[in-house]
Structure 1
Protein backbone atom coordinates (compact mmCIF):
# COMPACT_ATOMS: atom_id res chain seq x y z
CA UNK A 1 0.00 0.00 0.00
CA UNK A 2 1.41 3.37 -1.01
CA UNK A 3 1.99 5.68 1.96
CA UNK A 4 0.39 8.58 0.08
CA UNK A 5 -2.75 6.67 -0.78
CA UNK A 6 -5.71 7.95 1.22
CA UNK A 7 -7.31 5.58 3.73
CA UNK A 8 -11.07 5.87 4.25
CA UNK A 9 -13.30 4.23 6.85
CA UNK A 10 -17.04 4.00 6.14
CA UNK A 11 -19.24 2.74 8.97
CA UNK A 12 -22.45 1.06 7.89
CA UNK A 13 -20.60 0.53 4.62
CA UNK A 14 -21.97 -2.84 3.59
CA UNK A 15 -25.17 -1.62 1.92
CA UNK A 16 -27.19 1.35 0.73
CA UNK A 17 -25.69 4.83 0.94
CA UNK A 18 -22.64 3.61 2.87
CA UNK A 19 -21.75 1.07 0.19
CA UNK A 20 -22.24 3.68 -2.54
CA UNK A 21 -19.84 6.02 -0.73
CA UNK A 22 -17.30 3.22 -0.28
CA UNK A 23 -17.61 2.36 -3.98
CA UNK A 24 -16.98 6.00 -4.94
CA UNK A 25 -13.91 6.18 -2.72
CA UNK A 26 -12.52 2.90 -4.05
CA UNK A 27 -13.02 4.09 -7.64
CA UNK A 28 -11.02 7.23 -6.81
CA UNK A 29 -8.07 5.14 -5.65
CA UNK A 30 -8.56 5.18 -1.89
CA UNK A 31 -7.87 2.26 0.41
CA UNK A 32 -11.36 1.63 1.80
CA UNK A 33 -12.33 -0.03 5.07
CA UNK A 34 -16.01 -0.79 5.56
CA UNK A 35 -17.43 -1.56 8.98
CA UNK A 36 -20.75 -3.19 9.78
CA UNK A 37 -22.42 -5.66 12.08
CA UNK A 38 -22.79 -8.63 9.72
CA UNK A 39 -19.80 -10.50 8.34
CA UNK A 40 -21.74 -11.91 5.39
CA UNK A 41 -22.84 -8.46 4.24
CA UNK A 42 -19.30 -7.12 4.66
CA UNK A 43 -17.91 -9.96 2.57
CA UNK A 44 -20.35 -9.16 -0.23
CA UNK A 45 -19.43 -5.46 -0.06
CA UNK A 46 -15.68 -6.12 -0.14
CA UNK A 47 -16.12 -8.40 -3.16
CA UNK A 48 -17.72 -5.46 -4.98
CA UNK A 49 -15.13 -2.92 -3.87
CA UNK A 50 -12.05 -4.79 -5.04
CA UNK A 51 -8.97 -6.45 -3.65
CA UNK A 52 -7.69 -3.38 -1.83
CA UNK A 53 -10.85 -3.01 0.26
CA UNK A 54 -11.33 -4.64 3.64
CA UNK A 55 -14.22 -5.23 6.01
CA UNK A 56 -14.26 -5.23 9.79
CA UNK A 57 -17.19 -6.35 11.92
CA UNK A 58 -18.16 -3.60 14.35
CA UNK A 59 -21.20 -2.36 16.25
CA UNK A 60 -20.97 1.43 16.63
CA UNK A 61 -23.31 1.39 19.63
CA UNK A 62 -20.85 -0.81 21.56
CA UNK A 63 -17.72 0.96 22.84
CA UNK A 64 -15.75 -2.27 23.21
CA UNK A 65 -16.51 -3.11 19.59
CA UNK A 66 -15.39 0.37 18.52
CA UNK A 67 -12.14 0.01 20.47
CA UNK A 68 -11.48 -3.26 18.64
CA UNK A 69 -12.27 -1.65 15.27
CA UNK A 70 -9.87 1.24 15.72
CA UNK A 71 -7.15 -0.91 17.27
CA UNK A 72 -7.22 -3.10 14.18
CA UNK A 73 -7.12 -0.07 11.86
CA UNK A 74 -4.17 1.36 13.80
CA UNK A 75 -2.35 -1.96 13.52
CA UNK A 76 -3.13 -2.54 9.84
CA UNK A 77 -3.03 1.00 8.42
CA UNK A 78 -1.68 3.40 11.04
CA UNK A 79 -4.06 6.26 10.22
CA UNK A 80 -7.37 7.37 8.71
CA UNK A 81 -7.56 10.19 6.17
CA UNK A 82 -11.33 10.15 5.66
CA UNK A 83 -13.93 9.03 8.18
CA UNK A 84 -17.52 8.60 7.04
CA UNK A 85 -19.81 8.00 10.02
CA UNK A 86 -22.78 6.55 8.18
CA UNK A 87 -24.19 3.76 10.38
CA UNK A 88 -27.75 4.58 11.37
CA UNK A 89 -31.23 3.20 11.84
CA UNK A 90 -34.77 4.57 11.58
CA UNK A 91 -37.94 3.18 13.15
CA UNK A 92 -41.39 4.38 12.14
CA UNK A 93 -43.55 4.98 15.22
CA UNK A 94 -46.17 7.71 15.65
CA UNK A 95 -46.72 9.37 19.01
CA UNK A 96 -48.63 6.91 21.14
CA UNK A 97 -46.76 3.93 19.69
CA UNK A 98 -43.16 4.88 20.53
CA UNK A 99 -41.45 2.09 22.43
CA UNK A 100 -38.51 2.28 24.78
CA UNK A 101 -36.69 -0.33 22.69
CA UNK A 102 -37.15 1.69 19.49
CA UNK A 103 -36.11 4.91 21.23
CA UNK A 104 -32.97 3.33 22.70
CA UNK A 105 -31.99 1.62 19.46
CA UNK A 106 -32.12 4.84 17.45
CA UNK A 107 -30.29 6.99 19.98
CA UNK A 108 -27.71 4.28 20.68
CA UNK A 109 -26.77 3.91 16.99
CA UNK A 110 -27.51 7.36 15.55
CA UNK A 111 -26.21 9.55 18.39
CA UNK A 112 -24.09 7.51 20.79
CA UNK A 113 -22.61 5.66 17.83
CA UNK A 114 -21.65 8.88 16.06
CA UNK A 115 -20.15 10.44 19.20
CA UNK A 116 -17.91 7.52 20.04
CA UNK A 117 -17.02 6.67 16.44
CA UNK A 118 -15.69 10.19 15.90
CA UNK A 119 -14.03 10.33 19.30
CA UNK A 120 -12.29 6.97 18.87
CA UNK A 121 -11.09 7.95 15.39
CA UNK A 122 -9.44 11.21 16.48
CA UNK A 123 -6.03 9.74 17.39
CA UNK A 124 -5.80 8.29 13.87
CA UNK A 125 -6.75 11.54 12.09
CA UNK A 126 -3.99 13.94 11.05
CA UNK A 127 -4.12 17.56 9.83
CA UNK A 128 -5.84 17.56 6.46
CA UNK A 129 -8.16 14.70 7.39
CA UNK A 130 -11.89 14.95 6.80
CA UNK A 131 -14.88 13.66 8.75
CA UNK A 132 -18.19 13.31 6.91
CA UNK A 133 -21.27 12.42 8.90
CA UNK A 134 -24.31 11.08 7.10
CA UNK A 135 -27.31 12.85 8.58
CA UNK A 136 -30.81 13.21 7.17
CA UNK A 137 -33.25 15.90 6.12
CA UNK A 138 -35.24 14.51 9.05
CA UNK A 139 -33.08 16.81 11.16
CA UNK A 140 -35.42 19.63 10.07
CA UNK A 141 -38.38 17.80 8.47
CA UNK A 142 -38.93 14.40 10.08
CA UNK A 143 -42.48 13.90 8.89
CA UNK A 144 -45.13 11.79 10.60
CA UNK A 145 -44.07 8.76 12.65
CA UNK A 146 -40.37 9.70 12.47
CA UNK A 147 -40.08 12.02 15.48
CA UNK A 148 -37.43 9.98 17.30
CA UNK A 149 -35.34 9.42 14.18
CA UNK A 150 -35.57 13.13 13.39
CA UNK A 151 -34.55 13.97 16.95
CA UNK A 152 -31.42 11.83 16.62
CA UNK A 153 -30.42 13.57 13.40
CA UNK A 154 -31.05 17.02 14.90
CA UNK A 155 -28.85 15.99 17.82
CA UNK A 156 -26.03 15.09 15.43
CA UNK A 157 -26.30 18.47 13.72
CA UNK A 158 -25.86 20.18 17.08
CA UNK A 159 -22.95 17.94 18.01
CA UNK A 160 -21.13 19.06 14.87
CA UNK A 161 -21.85 22.72 15.64
CA UNK A 162 -19.85 22.26 18.83
CA UNK A 163 -17.20 19.93 17.43
CA UNK A 164 -16.15 22.48 14.80
CA UNK A 165 -14.92 24.61 17.71
CA UNK A 166 -13.45 21.62 19.56
CA UNK A 167 -11.40 20.74 16.45
CA UNK A 168 -10.11 24.27 15.94
CA UNK A 169 -6.40 24.18 15.17
CA UNK A 170 -6.35 20.43 14.45
CA UNK A 171 -6.54 20.77 10.67
CA UNK A 172 -9.45 18.30 10.66
CA UNK A 173 -12.64 19.30 8.85
CA UNK A 174 -16.08 17.93 9.78
CA UNK A 175 -19.27 18.23 7.73
CA UNK A 176 -22.65 16.57 7.38
CA UNK A 177 -24.35 15.36 4.22
CA UNK A 178 -28.08 15.05 4.88
CA UNK A 179 -29.85 12.99 2.24
CA UNK A 180 -33.50 13.20 1.53
CA UNK A 181 -35.42 10.01 0.72
CA UNK A 182 -33.02 7.74 -1.15
CA UNK A 183 -33.70 4.57 -3.12
CA UNK A 184 -32.31 2.00 -0.71
CA UNK A 185 -33.64 -1.30 0.54
CA UNK A 186 -33.77 0.09 4.06
CA UNK A 187 -36.17 2.83 2.92
CA UNK A 188 -38.43 0.26 1.30
CA UNK A 189 -38.23 -1.97 4.37
CA UNK A 190 -39.20 0.96 6.60
CA UNK A 191 -42.51 1.32 4.73
CA UNK A 192 -43.17 -2.42 4.97
CA UNK A 193 -46.19 -3.54 2.99
CA UNK A 194 -46.95 0.10 2.13
CA UNK A 195 -43.64 0.64 0.30
CA UNK A 196 -45.08 1.64 -3.07
CA UNK A 197 -47.55 4.09 -1.51
CA UNK A 198 -44.79 5.56 0.62
CA UNK A 199 -42.43 6.00 -2.30
CA UNK A 200 -45.19 7.60 -4.36
CA UNK A 201 -45.82 10.10 -1.54
CA UNK A 202 -42.12 10.99 -1.41
CA UNK A 203 -41.89 11.43 -5.17
CA UNK A 204 -44.92 13.73 -5.12
CA UNK A 205 -43.35 15.81 -2.34
CA UNK A 206 -40.10 16.28 -4.26
CA UNK A 207 -39.74 19.46 -6.35
CA UNK A 208 -37.85 17.41 -8.95
CA UNK A 209 -40.40 14.60 -8.94
CA UNK A 210 -38.27 11.72 -7.69
CA UNK A 211 -36.25 10.42 -4.77
CA UNK A 212 -32.47 10.22 -4.73
CA UNK A 213 -30.11 7.43 -5.68
CA UNK A 214 -27.31 6.23 -3.38
CA UNK A 215 -24.66 7.18 -5.96
CA UNK A 216 -25.90 10.78 -5.90
CA UNK A 217 -25.38 10.97 -2.14
CA UNK A 218 -21.96 9.38 -2.57
CA UNK A 219 -20.95 12.18 -4.92
CA UNK A 220 -21.76 14.77 -2.25
CA UNK A 221 -19.92 12.84 0.46
CA UNK A 222 -16.90 12.51 -1.83
CA UNK A 223 -16.92 16.26 -2.45
CA UNK A 224 -17.03 17.06 1.27
CA UNK A 225 -14.18 14.62 1.89
CA UNK A 226 -12.04 16.02 -0.90
CA UNK A 227 -9.58 18.88 -1.23
CA UNK A 228 -12.15 20.60 -3.43
CA UNK A 229 -14.01 21.29 -0.17
CA UNK A 230 -10.91 22.43 1.73
CA UNK A 231 -12.65 25.62 2.92
CA UNK A 232 -15.95 23.89 3.75
CA UNK A 233 -16.26 23.13 7.45
CA UNK A 234 -19.22 22.65 9.78
CA UNK A 235 -21.93 22.63 7.13
CA UNK A 236 -25.01 20.47 6.84
CA UNK A 237 -25.40 19.98 3.11
CA UNK A 238 -28.89 18.82 2.12
CA UNK A 239 -28.98 16.45 -0.85
CA UNK A 240 -32.70 16.06 -1.30
CA UNK A 241 -33.79 17.61 -4.59
CA UNK A 242 -35.11 20.62 -2.68
CA UNK A 243 -37.76 18.69 -0.75
CA UNK A 244 -36.81 20.18 2.62
CA UNK A 245 -37.26 23.68 1.18
CA UNK A 246 -40.65 23.04 -0.41
Structure 2
Protein backbone atom coordinates (compact mmCIF):
# COMPACT_ATOMS: atom_id res chain seq x y z
CA UNK A 1 0.00 0.00 0.00
CA UNK A 2 1.24 3.49 -0.74
CA UNK A 3 -1.47 6.00 0.10
CA UNK A 4 1.09 8.15 1.96
CA UNK A 5 4.19 7.23 -0.03
CA UNK A 6 7.04 9.55 0.90
CA UNK A 7 4.90 11.90 2.98
CA UNK A 8 6.64 13.47 5.94
CA UNK A 9 4.36 13.11 8.94
CA UNK A 10 4.17 14.14 12.60
CA UNK A 11 1.94 12.46 15.19
CA UNK A 12 1.72 14.02 18.64
CA UNK A 13 0.78 11.66 21.43
CA UNK A 14 2.01 8.89 19.16
CA UNK A 15 3.47 6.47 21.68
CA UNK A 16 0.27 4.70 22.72
CA UNK A 17 -3.37 4.15 21.78
CA UNK A 18 -4.77 5.89 18.71
CA UNK A 19 -1.53 7.76 18.02
CA UNK A 20 0.63 4.64 18.03
CA UNK A 21 -1.78 2.73 15.81
CA UNK A 22 -1.94 5.68 13.42
CA UNK A 23 1.86 5.69 13.24
CA UNK A 24 1.81 2.00 12.31
CA UNK A 25 -0.77 2.56 9.59
CA UNK A 26 1.12 5.58 8.24
CA UNK A 27 4.29 3.48 8.03
CA UNK A 28 2.43 0.70 6.26
CA UNK A 29 1.26 3.25 3.68
CA UNK A 30 4.77 4.45 2.92
CA UNK A 31 5.02 7.54 5.14
CA UNK A 32 8.00 8.83 7.05
CA UNK A 33 6.99 9.28 10.69
CA UNK A 34 7.90 11.32 13.76
CA UNK A 35 5.95 10.68 16.95
CA UNK A 36 5.94 12.44 20.32
CA UNK A 37 5.13 11.34 23.83
CA UNK A 38 5.80 12.25 27.47
CA UNK A 39 5.86 8.94 29.35
CA UNK A 40 9.36 7.40 29.30
CA UNK A 41 8.02 3.83 29.34
CA UNK A 42 5.66 4.53 26.43
CA UNK A 43 8.44 6.26 24.51
CA UNK A 44 10.72 3.22 24.93
CA UNK A 45 7.91 0.85 23.92
CA UNK A 46 7.09 2.94 20.84
CA UNK A 47 10.73 2.97 19.77
CA UNK A 48 10.76 -0.82 19.96
CA UNK A 49 7.47 -1.25 18.10
CA UNK A 50 7.98 1.35 15.39
CA UNK A 51 11.61 0.65 14.56
CA UNK A 52 14.75 2.68 14.15
CA UNK A 53 13.51 4.64 11.12
CA UNK A 54 10.94 6.46 13.27
CA UNK A 55 12.03 9.47 15.29
CA UNK A 56 10.43 9.36 18.76
CA UNK A 57 10.65 12.65 20.65
CA UNK A 58 9.64 13.74 24.13
CA UNK A 59 7.36 16.78 23.99
CA UNK A 60 4.87 17.96 26.61
CA UNK A 61 1.81 19.28 24.77
CA UNK A 62 1.21 21.87 27.52
CA UNK A 63 4.66 23.43 27.18
CA UNK A 64 4.71 26.23 24.58
CA UNK A 65 8.51 26.31 24.44
CA UNK A 66 8.46 22.58 23.77
CA UNK A 67 6.15 23.14 20.80
CA UNK A 68 8.65 25.55 19.25
CA UNK A 69 11.45 23.06 19.86
CA UNK A 70 9.36 20.30 18.29
CA UNK A 71 8.69 22.39 15.18
CA UNK A 72 12.41 23.08 14.87
CA UNK A 73 13.19 19.37 15.25
CA UNK A 74 10.67 18.54 12.52
CA UNK A 75 12.22 21.13 10.22
CA UNK A 76 15.72 19.86 10.94
CA UNK A 77 14.67 16.27 10.25
CA UNK A 78 12.41 16.72 7.23
CA UNK A 79 12.87 20.23 5.88
CA UNK A 80 9.11 20.45 5.35
CA UNK A 81 6.06 18.68 6.77
CA UNK A 82 3.24 17.16 4.72
CA UNK A 83 0.96 15.78 7.43
CA UNK A 84 0.38 16.54 11.12
CA UNK A 85 -1.94 14.51 13.34
CA UNK A 86 -2.46 16.51 16.53
CA UNK A 87 -3.50 13.74 18.87
CA UNK A 88 -1.88 14.48 22.24
CA UNK A 89 -4.48 15.15 24.89
CA UNK A 90 -5.81 14.45 28.35
CA UNK A 91 -9.27 13.33 29.40
CA UNK A 92 -10.28 14.45 32.89
CA UNK A 93 -13.90 14.02 33.95
CA UNK A 94 -15.04 15.51 37.25
CA UNK A 95 -18.04 17.32 38.76
CA UNK A 96 -17.93 21.10 38.45
CA UNK A 97 -17.62 21.57 42.21
CA UNK A 98 -14.32 19.64 42.30
CA UNK A 99 -12.48 21.63 39.64
CA UNK A 100 -9.67 24.00 40.58
CA UNK A 101 -8.25 26.74 38.40
CA UNK A 102 -5.00 24.79 38.09
CA UNK A 103 -6.80 21.66 36.88
CA UNK A 104 -8.87 23.69 34.42
CA UNK A 105 -5.82 25.46 33.01
CA UNK A 106 -3.89 22.20 32.70
CA UNK A 107 -6.62 20.58 30.59
CA UNK A 108 -6.86 23.58 28.27
CA UNK A 109 -3.06 23.89 28.07
CA UNK A 110 -2.67 20.29 26.90
CA UNK A 111 -5.76 19.96 24.71
CA UNK A 112 -5.99 23.42 23.12
CA UNK A 113 -3.25 25.93 23.90
CA UNK A 114 -0.26 23.70 23.19
CA UNK A 115 -1.56 22.32 19.89
CA UNK A 116 -2.57 25.83 18.78
CA UNK A 117 0.92 27.16 19.29
CA UNK A 118 2.40 24.06 17.70
CA UNK A 119 0.47 24.92 14.53
CA UNK A 120 1.82 28.46 14.77
CA UNK A 121 5.37 27.17 15.14
CA UNK A 122 4.90 24.82 12.18
CA UNK A 123 3.72 27.56 9.79
CA UNK A 124 7.16 27.97 8.19
CA UNK A 125 7.55 24.18 8.00
CA UNK A 126 4.29 23.11 6.34
CA UNK A 127 4.62 22.05 2.73
CA UNK A 128 2.13 23.29 0.15
CA UNK A 129 -0.12 21.34 0.19
CA UNK A 130 -0.25 19.99 3.74
CA UNK A 131 -2.91 18.22 5.77
CA UNK A 132 -3.53 18.70 9.49
CA UNK A 133 -5.85 16.30 11.32
CA UNK A 134 -7.15 17.20 14.79
CA UNK A 135 -8.24 14.48 17.20
CA UNK A 136 -11.35 15.90 18.84
CA UNK A 137 -14.19 13.93 20.46
CA UNK A 138 -17.91 13.28 20.35
CA UNK A 139 -17.87 14.93 23.78
CA UNK A 140 -17.92 18.21 21.85
CA UNK A 141 -21.48 17.33 20.81
CA UNK A 142 -23.06 15.49 23.75
CA UNK A 143 -23.82 16.79 27.22
CA UNK A 144 -22.40 14.04 29.39
CA UNK A 145 -22.32 14.78 33.10
CA UNK A 146 -18.88 15.50 34.58
CA UNK A 147 -17.37 16.21 31.16
CA UNK A 148 -17.75 20.00 31.29
CA UNK A 149 -14.07 20.92 30.99
CA UNK A 150 -13.01 18.04 28.76
CA UNK A 151 -15.93 18.66 26.39
CA UNK A 152 -15.16 22.37 26.30
CA UNK A 153 -11.55 21.69 25.29
CA UNK A 154 -12.68 19.39 22.51
CA UNK A 155 -15.33 21.82 21.28
CA UNK A 156 -12.66 24.52 21.09
CA UNK A 157 -10.31 22.16 19.24
CA UNK A 158 -13.05 21.18 16.81
CA UNK A 159 -13.71 24.85 16.08
CA UNK A 160 -10.08 25.28 15.07
CA UNK A 161 -10.54 22.73 12.29
CA UNK A 162 -12.85 25.25 10.61
CA UNK A 163 -11.34 28.61 11.53
CA UNK A 164 -7.78 27.59 10.72
CA UNK A 165 -8.93 26.02 7.46
CA UNK A 166 -10.36 29.39 6.44
CA UNK A 167 -7.23 31.21 7.52
CA UNK A 168 -4.55 28.88 6.16
CA UNK A 169 -6.08 27.32 3.06
CA UNK A 170 -4.43 30.00 0.90
CA UNK A 171 -1.10 28.65 2.19
CA UNK A 172 -2.13 25.18 1.11
CA UNK A 173 -2.76 23.89 4.64
CA UNK A 174 -6.12 22.21 5.17
CA UNK A 175 -7.56 21.10 8.51
CA UNK A 176 -10.02 18.32 9.28
CA UNK A 177 -11.13 16.66 12.51
CA UNK A 178 -11.69 13.09 13.63
CA UNK A 179 -14.09 12.80 16.58
CA UNK A 180 -13.96 9.38 18.23
CA UNK A 181 -16.52 8.02 20.61
CA UNK A 182 -15.40 5.75 23.47
CA UNK A 183 -12.32 3.85 22.31
CA UNK A 184 -10.57 1.06 24.17
CA UNK A 185 -7.20 2.74 24.75
CA UNK A 186 -4.79 3.26 27.68
CA UNK A 187 -6.48 6.63 28.21
CA UNK A 188 -9.06 4.92 30.41
CA UNK A 189 -6.30 3.44 32.53
CA UNK A 190 -4.94 6.95 33.15
CA UNK A 191 -8.15 8.21 34.75
CA UNK A 192 -7.33 6.69 38.12
CA UNK A 193 -10.34 4.38 38.05
CA UNK A 194 -10.08 1.53 40.58
CA UNK A 195 -9.69 -1.82 38.85
CA UNK A 196 -12.76 -3.22 40.59
CA UNK A 197 -14.92 -0.47 39.08
CA UNK A 198 -13.38 -0.46 35.61
CA UNK A 199 -15.46 -3.36 34.28
CA UNK A 200 -18.65 -1.78 35.60
CA UNK A 201 -17.75 1.54 33.99
CA UNK A 202 -17.00 -0.17 30.69
CA UNK A 203 -20.42 -1.81 30.75
CA UNK A 204 -22.06 1.57 31.39
CA UNK A 205 -20.16 3.12 28.49
CA UNK A 206 -20.98 0.29 26.09
CA UNK A 207 -24.67 0.50 27.06
CA UNK A 208 -24.75 3.94 25.44
CA UNK A 209 -23.23 2.80 22.14
CA UNK A 210 -25.74 1.43 19.60
CA UNK A 211 -23.05 -0.74 18.01
CA UNK A 212 -22.70 -2.55 21.33
CA UNK A 213 -18.97 -2.12 21.89
CA UNK A 214 -16.17 0.40 22.22
CA UNK A 215 -14.20 1.34 19.17
CA UNK A 216 -10.61 0.32 18.49
CA UNK A 217 -7.58 2.49 17.80
CA UNK A 218 -7.34 0.80 14.40
CA UNK A 219 -10.81 2.05 13.40
CA UNK A 220 -10.03 5.65 14.34
CA UNK A 221 -6.62 5.50 12.66
CA UNK A 222 -8.28 4.59 9.35
CA UNK A 223 -10.25 7.84 9.48
CA UNK A 224 -7.06 9.78 10.20
CA UNK A 225 -5.37 8.03 7.29
CA UNK A 226 -8.10 9.17 4.92
CA UNK A 227 -7.74 12.82 5.95
CA UNK A 228 -3.95 12.58 5.74
CA UNK A 229 -4.01 11.13 2.24
CA UNK A 230 -4.57 12.87 -1.09
CA UNK A 231 -7.89 11.03 -1.32
CA UNK A 232 -9.34 13.80 0.83
CA UNK A 233 -7.63 16.75 -0.87
CA UNK A 234 -11.00 18.44 -1.56
CA UNK A 235 -12.18 17.86 2.02
CA UNK A 236 -11.59 20.95 4.15
CA UNK A 237 -12.83 21.87 7.62
CA UNK A 238 -14.77 18.61 7.88
CA UNK A 239 -15.40 16.36 10.85
CA UNK A 240 -15.59 12.58 10.74
CA UNK A 241 -17.41 11.10 13.74
CA UNK A 242 -16.22 7.58 14.50
CA UNK A 243 -18.35 6.49 17.43
CA UNK A 244 -20.38 3.36 16.76
CA UNK A 245 -23.51 5.53 16.82
CA UNK A 246 -22.80 7.08 20.23
CA UNK A 247 -24.05 10.52 19.19
CA UNK A 248 -27.37 9.04 18.07
CA UNK A 249 -28.27 8.82 21.76
CA UNK A 250 -27.44 12.41 22.76
CA UNK A 251 -26.30 12.32 26.38
Q: TM-score range by the shorter chain?
A: over 0.9
Aligned with 2:203 (options 197, 200, 205):
200
Does the aligned pair in 1 maintain the 2:68–2:118 contact within 8 Å? no
Distance 1:201 1:20 in 2: 26
* Mapping for residues 151-190 of structure 1, pairs under 5 Å: 151-190=152-191
Does the aligned pair in 2 maintain the 1:132–1:177 contact within 8 Å? yes
Distance 2:36 2:96 in 1: 33
Does the aligned pair in 2 maintain the 1:137–1:238 contact within 8 Å? yes
After superposition, the CA RMSD in angstroms is 1.4
Aligned with 1:242 (options 220, 239, 245):
245
- Are positions 1:109 and 2:115 aligned together? no
Distance 1:178 1:99 in 2: 27
Distance 1:202 1:218 in 2: 21
Q: Partner of 1:222 in structure 2? A: 225
| TM-score, normalised with respect to structure 1 | 0.94
Q: Partner of 1:93 in structure 2? A: 94
Aligned with 2:214 (options 211, 216, 222):
211
Q: Partner of 2:236 in structure 1? A: 233
How many residues align? The count is 243
Does the aligned pair in 2 maintain the 1:34–1:42 contact within 8 Å? no
Does the aligned pair in 2 maintain the 1:189–1:195 contact within 8 Å? no
Shift of residue 182 of structure 1? 0.3
Distance 2:235 2:120 in 1: 21
Please say which of residues 10-19 and 139-148 is displaced more in the overlay. Answer: 139-148
Distance 1:41 1:164 in 2: 32
Does the aligned pair in 1 maintain the 2:162–2:175 contact within 8 Å? no
User: Which residues of structure 2 form unaligned runs of 5+?
Assistant: none
Distance 1:42 1:31 in 2: 18
User: Which residues of structure 1 form unaligned runs of 5+?
Assistant: none
Does the aligned pair in 2 maintain the 1:14–1:45 contact within 8 Å? yes
Distance 1:66 1:178 in 2: 23
